Chain A
Amino acid sequence: MALEAGMIAIGAGIAMGAAALATAWAQKTIGAAAVGAAAENDKMFGRGLIYMVLPETIVLFGLVIAFLLIQKIV
């Protein structure tokens, strides 16, 4: 059981961490472009923010999966 629980915990960690990395990678590119656009035109701020935060959902998918996995330990 201990081994199984450990494996599940590692799996949850990977789900969370990999999703976070993916989000960060996506946001890096979008964020740079959004700041550039907003610097040229103030009106782009709102739209830039939206594009910027879109990939955040990826990390939340990771969170949900990690949560479902962790529940299997108990």
Chain B
Amino acid sequence: MFKPREMQRTLIIGSKQELTHTIDLLHQLEVAHIVDYVQPEKEPIVQLGAPAQDASSLSQQLLKLRSSAQLLSIPPEQPPVSAKMSETQLQKNIDLRIQEIELSVLSLAEDKKRVEDHLKKLDERIHQITPFSDIDIPLEQYQGYDHLKVFTGYVTEIKKLEHELPTITDEYELFLSKTTPGIMALFITKFQADAALKLLSETGYNEIKLPEGNGLPSQFLEKWTTQRQELSEKLQQITTELEEYKKRHIEFIIASEEYLSIKVQKAEAPVRFATTIHSFLIDCWIPTESLQHVKETLEKETNGSLYIESFEAAHEDEPPTMLENPKPVKRFEYLLDLYSIPNYRDIDPSIILSLIFPLFFGLMIGDIGYGICLIIVGYIFMKKLKDSEAFANIGWYIIIAGIFSSIFGLFLFGDMFGLAFQSAAAEAEASSWSSILHVTIPIPSVIHKMEALGLTELLIISIIAGSLHIGLGLLFGFISERKEHKKHAIGKIGLIFVLAAIALLIFVMADWTIGQWLKPLKTTALAPFLWNYLIPSLKAGFVLGDLVIPYVSILLVGIGLGIILGTIGGFGLVEVLEITSHLMSYTRLAAICVAKGAMAFAFNMISFTLIFNENPNAILGIVIAIMGVIVIVFLQLIVFALGSLSSGIQAVRLHYVEFFMKFYKGEGIKFTPFRYQRKYTSTE
């Protein structure tokens, strides 16, 4: 659970006659992560393999099929089907069927395109001619003059045009459309064409070119409208035909696409292997637990004609990483990959991530109202966006965080939507759910976010959480480095001592707060040991201004620094500083919790003055109250969105920076076995 699955480097060597069969077997076994062979320069004997003979024809077929699928607008990702097609069924006449589909689809698509082009042209012409349909001049009379210039188009200031044309010349004729104001046709003597154009441009002229032809525009309009109607019907018909064709063949197309993809994958596999004239060598990683099965299957199926050898991963090897986690934790691997894919030798922190990330997230939100909203939002993410793995995973994180935040909201903070169930004793007048609803809700706030004491308590909780989290990180660092970098590993232990010293110093500073939490222990059998022996010895120290520096802290720092200087050397002191700043970094847990709580509280107070207004005018009072409700919903949404976003990012950050930096190296290679995840076909 804390380690990636163990891998063995496996070499499979055989004669080329067995190559196809071996590839088939490996593909069926689905556990071999193939390492691509890189041919060294000037290597005369062992060369890259060549793809199988049918590879190029298979690729061509696949290409044809995919282009048909695209023309039929079948997206590449289809939902899985219930009845899978068998390979034997597909194999029959697959070439012929693909060719048939290609031809039919191509001809239908061409028809469709032709009709569409035609329609487009027709639309353009109809658009041009429509405004002129009520000017009764045949189209042929608009052109072909020696002494006349014709302007057709749209004018914004038609009155001005009519008024000023006579000042240029009286050798003109102006026709106006009765139905479309602004449309005009101007016939004017060529000698005054320039002057007319100048006037036209002053009156906002926009040219409309008339199509060529013989006859009245209205006749053309009628003719083209009928043609358009016919073409639209034809287009509709072709589209329906295509749809029907798609419906009839979609199953075959997606199934054969998968079938051919698998074939191509197998046919092209040899390019990843090393080959000589008569033999081949497959270099791959196989999980140790599957190795025996792989060996047995290969030997049995090839009658022992393969030579198989496997080794432990050597120091310079980079085996692929395959994490093993139960399903709820598996979703958190995505968060790990987002940082960097774990290295084969890394400790897999998924399980820690799956517990601590929502815990921190929940603590920062710490409100049952927002918690329940988070669960709902997360559920919607998982249901509605389940096609995207990333969003489905994020939805899952939000749900878990919502559960944690509800728990904290109910048992620790006693808060719902930024309002406590019961107001703090110090400010009994303040609003709370109890005072608004006039019932006493028996859910006390153990920690009041909005009080100075509450902030102190939260800061201490943050530091406790931080020291445990960082301590765990350092421990992981020790475990993962103990074999290869012994000195560094021991240095981590030194850092744990320093961490404990700093944490103790802070706890002694917050003496009273922690004392409160320990009170319940006073009645237990542990009490004499704690109060007579442990606590006084931890608290004893010398006074420096306001500060008490415990002797135990000094001792721990001494030991820690000794170890660090002895192992890592002077450079290790930088890490001591880093630990201190990382520990402070956890105060963000308290900071965001209080900041979000304060924001919600302030927004609530603003809205409550509106909702519970005491306006003498009853109607006005109700209107203001309704406005108040709208305002509160809007403001609460802002708090919810901002709060969840920042809590999420901060919780991720505490892991990526403070936790992972202590042990995690990343930059691993994901285990990608040689296989194809069948969705639409089966080998049966």
Contacts and interface: CB of A to CB of B under 8 A. Distances in A.
Interface in B647-684: 649-650, 652-653, 656-657
B452 A56 contact: no
Give chain B's interface residue range (CB within 8 Å of chain A): 20 to 34
Contacts of B581: 57, 61
Interface string A32-74: 0000000000000111011001101100110110010011001
Contacts of B653: 49-50, 53, 56
Q: Which of A50, A64, A71 has the most CB of B within 10 A?
A: A50
A33 B650 CA distance: 20
B551 to A, nearest CB: 23
A42 B361 CA distance: 25
Given A46-B340, A53-B649, A56-B653, A67 B584 contact: no
Given A47-B340, A54-B657, A64 B652 contact: no
B652 A49 contact: yes
B339 interface: yes
B264 interface: no
A50 B657 contact: yes
B588 interface: yes
Contact of B452 (A49, A57, A70): A70
B488 to A, nearest CB: 21
A67 B652 CA distance: 25
B587 interface: yes
A64 B653 CA distance: 19
A60 B587 contact: yes
B235 interface: no
Contacts of B582: 57
A45 B459 contact: no
Contacts of A71: 452, 456
B356 interface: no
Contacts of B650: 53, 56
Interface in B575-611: 581-582, 584-585, 587-588, 591
A60 B588 contact: yes
Interface string B622-666: 000000000000000000000000000110110011000000000
B588 A67 contact: no
A61 to B, nearest CB: 6
A46 to B, nearest CB: 4
B656 A50 contact: yes
A7 B452 CA distance: 19
B304 to A, nearest CB: 44
Contacts of A57: 581-582, 584-585
Contacts of B587: 60, 63-64
B389 to A, nearest CB: 14
Contacts of B338: 45-46
A53 B657 contact: yes
B656 to A, nearest CB: 5
A49 B656 contact: yes
Contacts of A46: 338-340, 656
A70 B455 CA distance: 12
Contacts of B588: 56, 60
A45 B653 CA distance: 13
Interface in A2-47: 45-47
Nearest to B656: A50
B590 to A, nearest CB: 8
Given A50-B653, A50-B657, A63-B591, 13 more contacts: A47-B339, A47-B340, A49-B652, A53-B649, A53-B650, A53-B656, A53-B657, A56-B588, A57-B584, A57-B585, A60-B591, A61-B581, A70-B452
21 contacts: A46-B338, A46-B339, A46-B340, A49-B652, A53-B653, A56-B588, A56-B650, A57-B582, A57-B584, A57-B585, A60-B584, A60-B587, A60-B591, A63-B591, A64-B459, A64-B587, A67-B455, A67-B459, A71-B452, A71-B456, A74-B452
Closest 5 CB pairs of A and B: A46-B339, A53-B653, A46-B338, A57-B585, A50-B656
